[in-house]
Structure 1
């Protein structure tokens, strides 16, 4: 999903790891995060609420958000939905 967002909006090829930051490393802007949120919603439905996740973060946490932190959030949401 992230690679698809990058292909749509960014013109650079970068290795994506768990430590990759959305802002500094990938140069993603808020509209890109909205697009990523839409892709997450299309794939996982209500189980993964990316907008709610972002709303719970401080501005600095959003600026330094890593792929790993997002992966941890998604995995936690999916695990939680299976346990219900």
Structure 2
């Protein structure tokens, strides 16, 4: 089931910080290509809106692990998703995953 994320106006400071970090990762991955005035927000879809391809998702997974550690396991996160869910994956869902993984007692 696809979870919808709130618009950025309803986002916490922690979520905004993670959005900024993910935006930086995406800029590095795409070398600025998708960022011609495109704002990365909670509802931004990685593959549809930013046109990330599978190799870009692999690179993003590596960037997430380098920044947040192995607790944010992108492959594990999407393992149980259907193809449509992966295609519709949003920045907000990724932000939620990062927050869940980095705030758990095991990640400290």
Pairwise TM-score range, normalised by the shorter structure? 0.7 to 0.9
Cα RMSD (Å) of the superposition?
A: 1.5
Structure 1 residue 74 and structure 2 residue 98: aligned? yes
2:83 maps to which residue? 59
Q: Cα–Cα, structure 1 residues 3 and 11, in superposed 2: closer, same or farther, change >3 Å?
A: closer
Unaligned runs of 5+ in 2: 1-24
Determine helix, strand or coil for the equivalent of 1:74: helix
Q: Normalising by the residue count of structure 1, what TM-score does the alignment of the two structures yield? A: 0.86
Q: Cα–Cα, structure 1 residues 11 and 26, in superposed 2: closer, same or farther, change >3 Å?
A: closer
If each structure's helix is expressed as a fraction of its own residues, which one has the higher value? 1
2:31 maps to which residue? 7
1:40 maps to which residue? 64
Q: Distance in 1 between matches of 2:77 and 2:57?
A: 12
